Amino acid sequence: MENITLIINPQAGNSRHRKQIPALVAQLTRLFHIDQTYYTAQDGDARRIARGLAPSVNGRCIVIGGDGTLHDTVNGLQESQNQTVAVGYIPTGTGNDYARAHGIPLQPNRAIAALRHSRPIVTKIGKAVSPEIGTQYFINNFGIGIDARIVYDTNHSETKTGLNRLHLGQFAYLTNILHSSRIKESTRVPRHLAG
């Protein structure tokens, strides 16, 4: 059995799956040998954890969290230059865009069941570099201009937090689409994109 490292964000999706996490970990433990388990507490933790553990991971890393947790984990692994770690994803975020785009079940227990029979696939990883954001790797999408502004504003808004509590977090994007359509400021474009 392969060694599995778990990176878990209990705050993903405004903590709506927090109570399920022990059951999800138990389900994973029945299917895989869990070598290490890490919990995030703040933004950037998954990135730091992945960067630090990458040289010692010789199997797979499973992320339980949202798109941001997955993004941070991939960035940490890329920064450590360990590109041999297979990453599994159990979506517990608000949007779960990566899961939707790649046919991963949106119900965490079903995603775990699907992971049991999955095989690693090679995924292209994009890279953006600029003075404003530094180096960022991306596997799902990359935006500049108004779409990036909408996502940033939504992810940092109190509206999203409140709507997440009602399981309506996606509607926060609509609010910021309307707000951003009235903003007429320039946006700097990254100087280097590689994919």
How much is the pLDDT for 164? 63
Q: CA-CA distance, 74 to 123, in Å (whole number)?
A: 11
How much is the pLDDT for 132? 79
Sign of CA dihedral 4, 84, 130, 145: negative
Report the residue count for the chain: 195
94-138-2 Cα angle (round to 5): 80
Q: Residue 62 forms beta bridges with which residues?
A: 6, 88
Q: What is the pLDDT of residues 137-158, one digit of tens each?
A: 888 777 777 766 676 777 666 7
**DSSP-derived pairing of the beta strands 86-91 and 60-65:** parallel
Q: Domain-by-domain residue ranges, the chain?
A: 3-123, 127-194
How much is the pLDDT for 57? 60
Q: Residue 37 forms beta bridges with which residues?
A: 6
Helices and strands, number each (H, E), in the chain: 8, 7
CATH no. for 3-123: 3.40.50.10330
Neighbouring C-beta atoms of residue 121, cutoff 10 Å:
7
Burial of 117 (0-12, 13-18, 19+ CB in 10 A): exposed
User: Which parts of the chain sit beneath pLDDT 50?
Assistant: none
How much is the pLDDT for 173? 67
Q: CA-CA distance, 23 to 191, in Å (whole number)?
A: 45
How much is the pLDDT for 2? 66
How much is the pLDDT for 103? 92
How much is the pLDDT for 167? 64
